Amino acid sequence: MTTTIKTPHVHLKVVNEKKTDLSLESLFGSVPLTTYSNDPKMDPVPVNWGSADPAVRGPIIATKRGNGLCCHNAIGAHAGPYSIYRALAVASKQLDPDHVPDYTNAEPPVNFPQQPQWSDPSKIVAMDPFGHLAPWLFADSDVEVRPTISITKAHLQLGDLRDEVASGNLPVDGDVVINQMGDLNCTKLAVDPVWYLPGIASRFDISEAALRKSLFEDTNGMYPELITRPDIKVFLPPIGGLTVYIFGDPAKVSDPSSKLALRIHDECSGSDVFGSDICTCRPYLMFGIVEAAKQAQQGGSGVVVYFRKEGRALGEVTKYLVYNARKRGGDTAAEYFHRTECIAGVKDMRFQALMPDILHFLGIKKIDRMLSMSNMKYDAIVEQGIEIRERVPIPDSMIPPDSRVEIDAKIAAGYFTNGKVMTQEELKEVKGRSW
Ligand SMILES: [Zn+2]
């Protein structure tokens, strides 16, 4: 009985001895580690997720500066992983932490009319449908409201497109394809994720509590408010977002009488940017852009959505380790997924269940030409009530020889094909290049 009294006494003494310059308070000053929902000072600005009226829905507020400490209604920080660079800029005194953004002339150059899907809480759970208008809609707010979507216009110059024009596959029309160089006119949207936790939990058929606990524990406690603020339902996850490229008139994307070609592409920097031949990513991306542009030239519209989910959302470090394991183990289509599972524990962490949110934001109700063979993307889109009329595989002629291992393994695992699905025995004979 006496030892239980002694222990805290000894502990207190140690703290007392070191108090002079090494106490946490002398190092950091007064830093609130978290807030609590039962603290009477907490008064979060209400969020009515799924309301059609932005004034009723309310702004998303993440800042804890000024009034934000009491009235914020989102856990986490804006700009996903880039919030860490902002912290570095503040720490190194290159950015005033109280800098107020001046959004003069930064508003969208294209109007994306509000869709009924924006106010269906079962359809949009992973982004803020008012995110592109936030600073202007909530200009009267006395606490910082930041946009989570921005929209602009661009010309794309891609060498592959120049070749398509030269071969006659993609005509110059002066509108979508601007010139003989194959320059493309587009409207583009950058979207940061904004998660409505009850909706995310429901999409995965788990409880909100299980979701919060896993997000807290598996980020090693980065966001204590996931546990201490059950009254706050919005989370800004520290992950990459997506970019939408629209070819043709953006108003046609949501018009069911107009044809739509769509590619959903998950980032693969090694192939997309640097041309690595181990997968079909860049060839399929280029095929998607060309087909999207052609659909726009034919009076419809084309959309390419580029998700930052590098290496099936396992990351590039894991991806290269898998490449090594494949190449050293005799790279065959039969072993393709197994090698990923050995290292990552799963085949894939892209969770396409959240992907269709952007299609709902754009008001897409049907897709005439789906420029993807992925059964996971197909199932996720159809499950969300969006019809897919035709699935368009990458032409065989665009598949680099070393990537046959990947594409044949994927087709055997359920990817769409108009051709043959190989047996397990045949997959053993599909071999990649060794080092
Ligand atoms: Zn790839």
Q: What is the pLDDT of residues 363-378, one digit of tens each?
A: 999 999 999 999 999 9
pLDDT tens string 250-295: 999 999 999 999 999 999 999 999 999 999 999 999 999 999 999 9
pTM exceeds 0.85 for this model:
yes
Q: State the pLDDT confidence band at 21, using cuts at 50, 70 and 90.
A: low
Ligand 1 centre distance from Cα of residue 180 (Å): 29
Ligand 1 centre distance from Cα of residue 207 (Å): 33
Ligand 1 centre distance from Cα of residue 314 (Å): 12
Ligand 1 centre distance from Cα of residue 275 (Å): 9
Query: Would you say residue 11 has pLDDT above 90?
Result: no
Q: What is the DSSP string of 163-213?
A: HHHHTTSS---SSSB-STT--EEEEEEEE---EEHHHHHHHTT--HHHHHH
Ligand 1 centre distance from Cα of residue 422 (Å): 21
The per-residue pLDDT of the chain, averaged, comes to 93
Phi, psi of 18 (to 5 degrees): -90, 5
Ligand 1 centre distance from Cα of residue 321 (Å): 14
Q: State the pLDDT confidence band at 4, using cuts at 50, 70 and 90.
A: very low
Phi, psi of 366 (to 5 degrees): -150, 155
61-68 contact pairs (CB < 8 A, 24+) = 61/141, 61/143, 61/144, 61/145, 62/146, 62/236, 63/143, 63/144, 63/146, 64/32, 65/97, 65/98, 65/144, 66/143, 66/144, 67/142, 67/143, 68/143, 68/144
426: helix, strand or coil: helix
Using alpha carbons, select from 300, 286, 307, 197 the residue that is nearest to residue 249. Answer: 300
User: pLDDT above 70 covers what percent of the chain?
Assistant: 95
pLDDT tens string 276-285: 999 999 999 9
- pLDDT at position 23 is 83
Phi, psi of 96 (to 5 degrees): -70, 120
Radius of gyration of the chain (CA): 25
Ligand 1 centre distance from Cα of residue 431 (Å): 17
pLDDT tens string 324-368: 999 998 899 999 999 999 999 999 999 999 999 999 999 999 999
Say how far residue 319 (Cα) sits from the centre of its chain: 18
Using alpha carbons, select from 120, 411, 176, 156 the residue that is nearest to residue 306. Answer: 156
- Please state the rounded mean pLDDT for residues 303-310: 98
Q: State the pLDDT confidence band at 24, using cuts at 50, 70 and 90.
A: confident
Ligand 1 centre distance from Cα of residue 310 (Å): 9
Q: Which residues lie across from 369 on neighbouring strands?
A: 261
Distance CA 80, CA 243 (A): 14
Ligand 1 centre distance from Cα of residue 269 (Å): 7
Query: Would you say residue 311 has pLDDT above 90?
Result: yes
Q: Which two tokens stand for residue 252?
A: 């046609």
pLDDT tens string 131-174: 999 999 999 998 999 999 999 999 999 999 999 999 999 999 99
Catalytic residue annotation: 348, 350
- Please state the rounded mean pLDDT for residues 374-393: 97
- pLDDT at position 238 is 97
- pLDDT at position 66 is 87
Q: Which two tokens stand for residue 62?
A: 């993440």
